[in-house]
Amino acid sequence: MTVPITAAAPDAPTAQGPSAADGSAEGPSAPQVLARCRELVRPALAAAVDLLHPWPAEMAAFSLGWCEVGGCPGPGGGGEGKGVRQALTVLCAEAAGAPAESAVAGAVAVELIHTFTLLHDDIMDGDETRRQRPTVWKAYGTGPAVLAGDALFALALETLATAENAHSAAAIRRLTQALRHLVHGQAEDLLFESRPWTGPGAVRLDEYRSMADHKTGALLGCAAALGAQLAGAPSSTVAALAQTGRHLGVAFQTVDDLLGVWGDPEVTGKPVHSDLRRGKKTFPVLAALSSSTPAARRLGELLASPSPLDDAALRDAAALIEEAGGRAAALDEARRHLDLATRSLHSVPLDPAAVGDILALLPFLVSRRM
């Protein structure tokens, strides 16, 4: 399934603009932008991973798609939407008028932190596959996956701490605060699982929004801010770009929720109705349940079943979520955050070419899986 948000908000800009690097009306496409940033960051990322003990280094390389279990070359790190966080860091440095190179240590740090969160979240969520491959804990064991995550976490901070950049101390402050928010969001998400679907203890939409802002918004916001910060941008610029990243993160999370109900397993690499199957509290379901429609009532009864839902019941649930307006509400939510991301980007003076590249990423990133 492709989530149809390519047009973003009604007033959302497109990737085309007068600022295209080649002087034509057409700027580079999102895959081109991502590939350029990946190529810039890759040597430093590989050099960082090389500092690790060979065993966690292999698990890190496996997780990054660079190798298979045992160390043979892997599928490569160039999945279409991959590397969005590092790209955001690089582009935000350029947007703040600095050369892309100034942001490389920050880009490496956010990519390492992102990989660390995948490793540990997969343990916490019990997820056995990711991108059609076993997760690290499934392939190497839980203990080793915990260790590899810790190694990546430490390496991310070390990379930033040893960067030759006058602003690295401020960048580290921001990254460590983002990490606390990220843990906060993950804690909420895990606790949501044991709360009821309906009644006084049910998860409210505003609680969900706060969780998504912490869990996904914090790291994308930090990725954007680090680029600006390492570029020595004024605090208003750092704040505006942080907001852009944060809204982009929440938009992405909402799209991820849509894919968790209606996503094509071939694309998501997860079973059909994966989030519904696990009873995960996601935006479309919570929005549907809060709709005061007959479909919402029937959905609540279905989800309250003490036994796991079979395939037919899962199909019914997905249909009821759509009937109760949950799918449309989630699409609106994603569009709203894309719009807010764009507005924030336009609220401060920035390099137009870099802004064009960032705008090219926005609709692309929420129209497919990162």
Q: Which single residue is written with the structure tokens 């390389």?
A: 61
CA angle 184, 186, 187 (to 5 degrees): 65
CB of 102 to a second copy, least distance (A): 18
Q: Which single residue is written with the structure tokens 């912490």?
A: 214
Contact call for residues 94 and 354 (beta carbons, < 8 A): yes
CA angle 14, 16, 22 (to 5 degrees): 150
Question: Taking contact as CB under 8 A, which single stretch among the options 38-46, 145-153, 234-242, 361-369 is the one that binds a second copy?
Answer: 145-153
CB of 176 to a second copy, least distance (A): 4
Question: Taking contact as CB under 8 A, which single stretch among the options 127-135, 150-158, 341-349, 354-362 is the one that binds a second copy?
Answer: 150-158
Out of 142, 235, 236, 305, point to the residue binding a second copy (CB under 8 A): 142
Out of 69, 183, 239, 353, point to the residue binding a second copy (CB under 8 A): 183
195 near a second copy (CB under 8 A): no
168 near a second copy (CB under 8 A): yes
CB of 188 to a second copy, least distance (A): 7
Residue 130 main-chain phi, psi, to 5 deg: -150, 125
278 near a second copy (CB under 8 A): no
Q: How far, rounded to the nearest angstrom, does the alpha carbon of residue 126 sit from its chain's CA centroid?
A: 19
Q: In one letter, which amino acid is 305?
A: S
Provide the Cα torsion 30, 34, 36, 41; round to 10°: 160
CB of 109 to a second copy, least distance (A): 11
- Residue 214 or 327: which CB sits closer to a second copy? 214
Q: How far, rounded to the nearest angstrom, does the alpha carbon of residue 262 sit from its chain's CA centroid?
A: 18
CB of 213 to a second copy, least distance (A): 14
CB of 237 to a second copy, least distance (A): 21
Non-local (6+) Cβ contacts of 230 within 8 A are 89, 93, 98, 102, 103, 105, 106, 163, 165, 167, 168, 171
Q: How far, rounded to the nearest angstrom, does the alpha carbon of residue 301 sit from its chain's CA centroid?
A: 32
- Residue 184 or 343: which CB sits closer to a second copy? 184
125 near a second copy (CB under 8 A): yes
Out of 55, 71, 204, 301, point to the residue binding a second copy (CB under 8 A): 55
123 near a second copy (CB under 8 A): yes
Q: Which single residue is written with the structure tokens 């990220």?
A: 182
Residues of this chain that bind a second copy (CB under 8 A)? 51-53, 55-56, 120, 123-126, 142-144, 146-147, 149-151, 153-155, 157-158, 161-162, 168-169, 172-173, 176-177, 179-180, 182-184, 186-188, 190-191
